[in-house]
Amino acid sequence: MEASITLRVDGRERSLRVDTRTTLLDALRERLGVTSVKKGCDHGQCGACTVLLDGRRATTCLALAVAYDGATITTARGLAASGNLHPVQQAFLDHDALQCGYCTPGQICSAVGMLEEFRAGHPSFVTEGPGVPAALSDEEIRERMSGNLCRCGAYVNIVAAIRQAMGEVGGRETGPGTAERAAP
C-alpha cells in the first residue's frame, strides 16, 4: 500500500508517494536524494542517520515515513544558514572532530539537538542530584552523545567541538563562567 506524504526538508517542502513500510531514512536518501543522512547499521544503534525531526533529534532508520507526514526535518546540510556554518559544524572543523566523516552528519545533528535539550533543562543518566548542572562536563557530553558511534574513534575531538559550540550557541547560563565552559 502506498501513501502520499509531504516533508519539509532543510527548509524545502517535498511531496512524494511511499510504500507505508518505507523508513524515513530510505524516503530521504532513496526517494528525495538527501545524502547528508547516512545509513549505518539500519537498526537504530549507530546514530549515523540522526536528523532534527520537528526540532528534536531522531534516528530515521527506525521511523516510518508515513508517520511523519507534514514534519519538518533538518539535516546537517540544512543547519548552515546563508552560506555560514552552524556553530556546531564550525566547531567540528576547528577541532578536527572527524576522520572518515561517515558519522559526522549524524554526530552534528545529535550535538545540536543535545545542546537544545540541555538548554531546556533535560537531565541525563549521569546527572547528579536534582536539576540539571549549569555546565556540561565531559562525562555529561559523552553520555548525552552516547547514541552516536564513531568507528574511527574521534570522540576526544567531538567532545572538544561540542564544548566550543556550547559557548557559541549558548549554554544554560550567561555571564561569568560561560567562556570558561567553552574552553576545550
Pairing of strands 12-19, 2-9: antiparallel
Dihedral over alpha carbons 23, 7, 71, 37 (to 10 degrees)? 50
Q: What's the burial of 138, exposed, middle or buried (CB within 10 Å: 0-12/13-18/19+)?
A: middle
- For residue 3, give the C-alpha cell: 501513501
pLDDT in tens, 102-155: 999 999 999 999 999 999 999 888 887 777 778 899 999 999 999 999 999 999
Give the span between the Cα atoms of 152 and 55, in whole angstroms: 28
- In order of their start, the domains of the chain are 2-75 (3.10.20.30), 87-182 (1.10.150.120)
Q: pLDDT confidence of 170, banded at 50, 70, 90?
A: low
